[in-house]
């Protein structure tokens, strides 16, 4: 396992990190299965575990907490807040009121007295940067969090938050967690240059593109992954974006075969090759999934392979731009771009 410095923090983290979104009802994972995944990940050298309050309504945090009991100090523990936790309008967002309350809820579910990295799951357009950063700074000074970061922020919002921290003499985000894969490369043109400029650590999610790059999705085969059963429209090959993806997958499979790699090794080796990326989050549901992902821990792609990938999916290109989670709201809501 390779280790890299998380931004400018000095903290060393594994280049593959364990994402716990599938722990609980989302991935139909039991506590026994979750603990086995954590055990195998730690044994392989993974030292960063990432979860969120919203995953399975808090169940993921509870499972992670039980799985790491007795070995907390060996783990860089990360969680997130922002997503709605109930129908109550104030049980969400990035206000001081909610973050102070919800961090305590997360600490209780995790069974710990602090988290190493507390992330704002999405940019909150209803809350000022000053409000959010002030709350996070106070929580850091109280010892409840060691560092804080953002997740899936548009590039200009990352910049705005850095400026707000400087202007108001507050702590700043030290990490960003964007979606990044061979099939979704848009962050290369905006987010990753910004994270490099400000020295942020980058933890990428969905490096296997929701299973498109797992090796289980190929032309002429029935798509029967867990994610395709939850989000069937993302795998409907009658749609133009999905036809483009399946065409790219077939070409990428040929590149992987020629290089003697699995699709998973190709996909994870690609994202961890970018100089801005600190670690790739893998989200296994089963031990077999994790073993296949851990096989990429020491994968280093040569220039010929990276050039071949660039020829299939051009740098900065999203093959499914409509699925981007960091899009500026005006791109998604017509009324915001019309007088």
Q: Which residues are known to be catalytic?
A: 55
Are the C-beta atoms of residues 315 and 53 closer than 8 Å to each other? no
Number of helices (H) and strands (E) in the chain: give both, helices first: 12, 10
Are the C-beta atoms of residues 217 and 294 closer than 8 Å to each other? no
Largest CA distance in the chain: 58
With 0-12 CB in 10 A as exposed, 13-18 as middle and 19+ as buried, what is 128? Answer: middle
Are the C-beta atoms of residues 82 and 120 closer than 8 Å to each other? yes
**Rounded to whole angstroms, how far apart are CA atoms 103 and 140?**
11
What is the number of alpha carbons within 13 Å of residue 117 lying toward its C-beta? 30
**Rounded to whole angstroms, how far apart are CA atoms 321 and 305?**
24
- DSSP collapsed to 3 states, 173-195: CCEEECECCCCECHHHCCHHHHH
């Amino acid at each position: 396992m390779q280790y890299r410095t998380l931004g400018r923090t000095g903290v060393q983290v594994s280049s593959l990190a364990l994402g716990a979104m599938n722990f609980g009802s989302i991935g139909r994972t039991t506590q026994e299965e979750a603990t086995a995944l954590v055990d195998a990940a730690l044994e392989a050298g993974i030292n960063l575990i990432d979860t969120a309050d919203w995953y399975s309504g808090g169940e993921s945090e509870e499972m992670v907490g039980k799985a790491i009991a007795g070995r907390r100090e060996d783990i860089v523990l990360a969680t997130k807040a922002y997503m709605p936790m109930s129908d109550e309008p104030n049980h969400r967002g990035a206000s001081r009121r909610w973050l102070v309350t919800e961090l305590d809820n997360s600490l209780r579910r995790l069974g710990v007295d602090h988290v190493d990295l507390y992330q704002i799951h999405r940019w909150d357009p209803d809350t000022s940067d000053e409000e959010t950063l002030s709350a996070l700074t106070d929580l850091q000074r109280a010892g409840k969090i060691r560092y804080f970061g953002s997740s899936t922020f548009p590039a200009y919002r990352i910049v705005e938050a850095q400026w707000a921290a400087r202007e108001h003499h507050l702590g700043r985000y030290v990490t960003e967690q964007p979606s990044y894969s061979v099939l979704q490369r848009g962050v290369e043109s905006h987010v990753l240059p910004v994270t490099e400029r400000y020295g942020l650590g980058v933890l990428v999610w969905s490096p296997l593109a929701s299973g498109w790059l797992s090796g289980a999705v190929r032309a002429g085969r029935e798509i029967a992954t867990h994610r395709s059963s939850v989000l069937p429209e993302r795998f409907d090959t009658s749609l133009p974006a999905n036809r483009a993806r399946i065409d790219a997958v077939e070409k990428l499979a040929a590149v992987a075969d020629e290089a003697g790699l699995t699709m998973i090794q190709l996909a994870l080796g690609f994202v961890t090759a970018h100089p801005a990326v600190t670690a790739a989050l893998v989200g296994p549901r089963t031990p077999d999934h994790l073993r296949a992902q851990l096989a990429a821990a020491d994968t280093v792609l040569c220039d010929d392979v990276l050039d071949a990938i660039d020829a299939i999916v051009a740098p900065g290109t999203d093959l499914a731009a409509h699925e981007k989670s960091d899009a500026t709201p005006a791109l998604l809501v017509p009324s915001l771009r019309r007088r």
